Chain A
Amino acid sequence: MSLLEIAGASSFYGDFQALFDVSLSVEEGETVAMIGANGAGKSTLLGMIAGLLPTRHGDVRYDGRSIARLAAYDRVGLGISLVPEGRRIFPSLTVEENLAIGTYRGRRGRWDVASVMELFPLLGLLRVRSAAVLSGGEQQALAIGRALMANPRLLLLDEVSLGLAPVVVGQVYKALPEISRDGTTILLVEQNIEQALGVAERVYCLLEGRVVLQGRPAELERGAITSAYFGI
């Protein structure tokens, strides 16, 4: 049984349909990447899994049960955490408070303030700072840390490298194997194909709201990926 199974699901922004009949599955412990061009529906897909956007038609199953009708805040309790695009940290809370609020509905596990600070040492120096004054990279580390505080089984990462300096992107990606080490499942969205292929065990490619390619990085031809990515 897969940890996450999406069967023929569609999703909308208001009247605009962003996902068409998407099916995919993610096994427990896997790291899976979702690639695709701007507007392909990658973020919509993560939003739908996290519960921010509605699932229309089809089903989203997690750990054997349908979660399609469940509110986003209830999905956190089941172990689904999303690091949203644009970080969305809480500016009026301090760094430490942003981490603390991550436990609001979370589960117990290996992640707490100490272990998150060990993963991202730069946060340790900023504990009592207002999160509003952090740099982009620091905010991204904090957003991932906040999600980890809930001790998720399924961690959803949306464009964590967007707008960050390459050296910072490297630091963020270096943390992923450490996160998945004890079996945390990761589904990440990435525009940078190289970055995605380097870290993922399997890749899905989305084009205009549909899955057009999937496979293991080693088995996929570059040409096929490029044409699936750009739709040519």
Chain B
Amino acid sequence: MEWVNALVQGILLGGLYALLATGLSLVFGVMRVVNLAQGDLTILAAFMALAIADASGANPLLSLLVVVPVLMLLGYVLQRGILNRAIAGGVLPPILVTFGIAVILQNALLEIFSADSQGLDAGPIEGQSLRLTDQLAVGWFPLATLLVAVLILVGLQLFIGRTQLGRAFRATSDDADAARLVGINDRHVYALAMALALGTIAVAGVFLGIRTTFGPLDGPVRLIFAFEAVVIGGLGSLWGTLAGGVILGVAQALGNQVNPAYQLLAGHLVFLAILAFRPRGLFPSASIRQQA
């Protein structure tokens, strides 16, 4: 029963990892850019929620109404203003630019909020759980996190699969020149993709902040988990990201069950095994498969 419990908690933890990785997956899928500032933007979102909750006294979940639109706007401006220029320079410049943004964010957060660890208090929902059997209980908040992750990923998948703008995302990802020839402004599409990605990052940051403590320098660790989830699932595939997050969460929970010291190690080992034996991940996306 302990193992079943570990498995269930791992799946729920995977929901958080999937949420953390969605923005990374989306940005890579549309513009083939690895956003190294992903983790720090997540932490930025958590601190924004903290500032809003402190100032207004409202539940940090309500701060999503502000944090999500603000980060989406930031994503659009960042892409239009800086990253589009970097993309034009090839593969390396955007990586360097996002790395620079990460460093700037870390230091700015350190300056404003100090190095103290913080947490978001979402009220009683954090402690309540759904009792399935005598020995198995599921926390409402982790369950809600997983549901939100699934909803966001299903929503994104429907948007990209079914709408004209979603088709434009895929077309631009395939061939930006050809996309311009059918009337798509590729720079605008990239900026919209980054805005969507930062919207998901905002949600991830607030949920992360409610679930665990966070500090200004925690971004890179979050980036590693997100990156592992994306690679396990397959670069650029949104379903793969969900699967990757869950696999990473389960690996960590089972490792923790063996010995609490093995929690992170188990996740990294699964990541390494996938890289070694299925380097394109479990569910490589269609467009990447065709390029190979």
Interface of A with B (CB < 8 Å)? 50-52, 71-74, 76-77, 81-82, 84, 88-93, 97, 100-106, 130, 132, 146-147, 150
Closest Cβ of chain A to B32, distance in Å, is 13
Chain A CB within 8 A of B175 CB: yes
Q: In the complex, what's the smallest C-beta–C-beta distance from A208 to chain B, in angstroms? A: 25
Cα of A104 to Cα of B185 in the assembled complex, Å: 10
Bound together, the chains give a CA A147 to CA B180 distance in angstroms of 12
Q: Which one, B173, B180, B183, B287, contacts A52 given CB within 8 A? A: B180
Known contacts A93-B167, A101-B164, A101-B168: A106-B183 contact under CB 8 Å: yes
User: Which residues of the other chain, B, contact A102 by a CB distance below 8 angstroms?
Assistant: 182
Tell me if B164 and A93 are in contact (CB < 8 A): no
Nearest A-chain residue to B171, judged by Cβ: A90
Assuming the contacts A101-B167, A104-B168, asked whether A90 and B180 have C-beta atoms less than 8 A apart, the reply is: no
- How many angstroms between the C-alpha atoms of A50 and B186 in the bound complex? 15
Contact status B180-A101, CB under 8 Å: no
Cα–Cα distance between A150 and B182 once the two chains are bound (Å)? 8
Return chain A residues, CB-CB under 8 Å to B55: none
A-B contacts, 29 of them at CB < 8 A, read: A50-B181, A52-B177, A71-B180, A71-B185, A72-B181, A73-B183, A73-B185, A74-B183, A76-B183, A81-B181, A82-B181, A84-B177, A84-B178, A88-B177, A90-B175, A91-B287, A91-B290, A92-B174, A92-B287, A92-B290, A93-B167, A101-B167, A101-B168, A104-B168, A104-B182, A104-B183, A105-B183, A106-B182, A106-B183
Question: B170, B184, B285: which contacts A104 (Cβ < 8 A)?
Answer: B184
Contact in complex: B286, A150 (CB < 8 Å): no
**B174 & A105 in contact (Cβ 8 Å cutoff):** no
Let me know if B170 and A92 touch, CB within 8 A.
yes
Chain B residues with a Cβ under 8 A of chain A: 164, 167-168, 170-171, 173-175, 177-186, 285-287, 290
**Residues in A neighbouring B178, C-beta threshold 8 A:** 84, 88-90
Q: Is the CB of A73 within 8 A of B180?
A: yes
Of A74, A92, A150, which contacts B173 at CB under 8 A?
Answer: A92
Q: Which residue of A is nearest B188, CB measured?
A: A73
Given A91-B287, A92-B173: A52 in contact with B164 (beta carbons within 8 A): no
Q: Pick the most buried of A102, A104, A106: most chain B CB atoms within 10 A of its CB.
A: A104
